Structure 1
Amino acid sequence: MGFKRKKSLTKESFSAIKMEKNEVYDYLAKVYLDKQPSLTARPIEKKQPSSFRKYALFLILPIIALPLLYLFLRHPLRQHTPKGRSLQLDLGNELIKIRYDFTASDIKKEGYAIALADLNARGFKELEFKARRCKDFGVMHLRVALENNFRENAARYVNVDSKWRRYKIKLSDFKEITAWDNLKEISFIIEEWNVADKDDCLYIDELSFTK
């Protein structure tokens, strides 16, 4: 029987095989690396607004702001108008009493003022109150004055006698007052030249604004 001999590898053939293995390794390494995600982060590019958009925004803002500014100046924030048919002012438990004596001094006026603390009288039509003099004779022309926070003043006169009577003054008669949402004060004034009796007194009660 003959024996088959194994062929011995020459130096050249061994080198060829080694090179083929190296090429295979290189190929596998390349395939592996190609499948891995890139570790290098690319900077995110921010889109800059175009000059047209900047210009349009520059034009739109004044268009929106100007009407709002006009509305604010034309109709500023106001107090809420009280509801109901009347707004009764709290005068306390006692009547308002104005005592005057123009015979004993140089004083020519006596009065009583009520702070209204920015009272909102918008929507009301009349000022009402009850009043009477102490003495039974003579004539009294009582001055009723209103003032708001804009220093607008207006006054009207009513004739008061010795009997309790209800007096109504239309707010529209206080023509000098244009803003009724911030009334500052109401005053009742007795003037020396508008009374027949220079020594008398006056009572006032049930003061209110009515619709």
Structure 2
Amino acid sequence: MKEIIPIIVSSISLLISLYIFFATYLRPARIKISIGNSLLVFSSRLGGASDPKLIGISFYLPITFLNWSHRGGEINQVRMVLGRPNNSINYSDMIWANFSQVTGDGNNLKVEIQGVAQPLAVPEKSSVSKMIRFNWSPYMNPKLEVQPGQYELMIFGWTEKVEKEGEPNLYAKTSFLIDEEIHDEYQRCIREDLNTPILIALGDSRLPNVSLTRKGVKKTFGK
């Protein structure tokens, strides 16, 4: 019996070592999606539309792709689905169009296109952040309009391990509110033919800064 115990211990140690080796070096990349805390929206004339009534809409969304594993991975495709919870039959599905860069702040935001969106390599134990543009053409039906109310935004992603036509293996979701002020500013940009992006806070980031009591901190954050 005493001779068996060392063999059992050695076998268990070997299995643990093999598992650690697999989990560390052989397991496929574990990529996650993290959505930024703001969305840029602006009216645009896509596809060379000559009719001023044919107004499309574009979105700029910051997304970070996180890879926690020791193996690199790849993002093949990203799509954004946007809609209103009170209108479940009309959601807009948009494929990523461009990588972009935003400069300036406040009312002086400027967006520069850096290139067409294409597969992204995500090295091991690292992250890649991109400002991604999504477009809804004025020729699409139904038209995507900016109206006051609550919206939900979903991001779906495909890695190199999943066929593009198959179900996505990456997913993230957030929400935002378009109030009357944002709606009026967007309509002004259309009337004056401005391509000025409008900043919309996402998720909890839209909550304003407030002054709290210690009880308020406990009630809000549970700490």
Relative contact order, higher structure (CA 8 A, sep 6+): 1
Identify, as 1 or 2, the structure richer in helix.
1
TM-score normalised by length of structure 2:
0.29
Identify, as 1 or 2, the structure richer in strand.
2
TM-score normalised by length of structure 1:
0.31
Q: Which one has the largest radius of gyration?
A: 1
